[in-house]
């Protein structure tokens, strides 16, 4: 048995439906070991001043802050990939997403068939339940949130 990440839930919510609507936010089971996320977000007006609050939480009597809690200038990052926290998350989604260009963002933005692979995550994870919370802030106001929940099981085979 190898180390494995498995998505367990996807929760998306909008705080301002006149600017952003969530069209689709679901997980789909591909096999017993693999679940993929599909998220469609429709941005109704051009967004140019975008920040993302990234949080990784670990479940221990509720979800508690674990390793990452950082707010990133998304437009600045897309121009120059110089923020290590954002780079980890971006490298996970860049091949599965339409969010791979500089600002402004408008219209349908998608993540299709996204899943976590242990070889793509450069941080050590102990076995447990985790959450990746992303709060998207346009022009200084939170507009929507995408929250992914997942489990990680370590490879416990002794050599």
pLDDT (tens digit per residue) in 80-91: 988 888 898 898
Contact 102, 119 (CB under 8 A): no
Q: Which of 27-31, 143-147, 150-154 has the lowest mean pLDDT?
A: 150-154
Contact 35, 29 (CB under 8 A): yes
Q: DSSP assignment, residue 61?
A: S
Helices (H), the chain: 74-79, 84-93
At the second CATH level, the architecture of 4-152 is Distorted Sandwich (2.70)
Q: Please tell me the pTM assigned to this model.
A: 0.89
- The pLDDT value recorded for residue 159 is 46
d(CA 96, CA 86): 16
- Kindly tell me if the per-residue pLDDT of 92 is higher than 90: no
Domain ranges of the chain: 4-152
pLDDT (tens digit per residue) in 27-85: 999 988 889 999 999 999 999 999 999 999 999 888 888 878 999 999 999 999 888 88
């Amino acid at each position: 048995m190898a180390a494995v990440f498995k998505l367990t839930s996807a929760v998306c919510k909008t705080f301002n439906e006149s600017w952003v609507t969530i069209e689709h936010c679901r997980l789909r089971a591909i096999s017993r070991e693999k679940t993929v996320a599909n998220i469609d977000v429709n941005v109704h007006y051009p967004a140019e001043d975008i920040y993302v609050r990234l949080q990784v939480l670990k479940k221990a009597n509720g979800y508690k802050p674990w390793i990452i809690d950082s707010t990133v200038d998304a437009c600045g990052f897309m121009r120059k990939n110089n923020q290590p926290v954002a780079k980890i998350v971006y490298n996970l989604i860049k091949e599965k997403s339409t969010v791979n260009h500089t600002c402004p963002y408008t219209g349908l933005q998608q993540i299709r068939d996204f899943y976590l692979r242990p070889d793509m995550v450069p941080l050590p994870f102990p076995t447990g339940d985790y959450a990746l919370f992303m709060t998207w802030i346009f022009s200084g106001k939170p507009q929507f949130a995408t929250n992914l929940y997942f489990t990680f099981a370590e490879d416990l085979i002794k050599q």
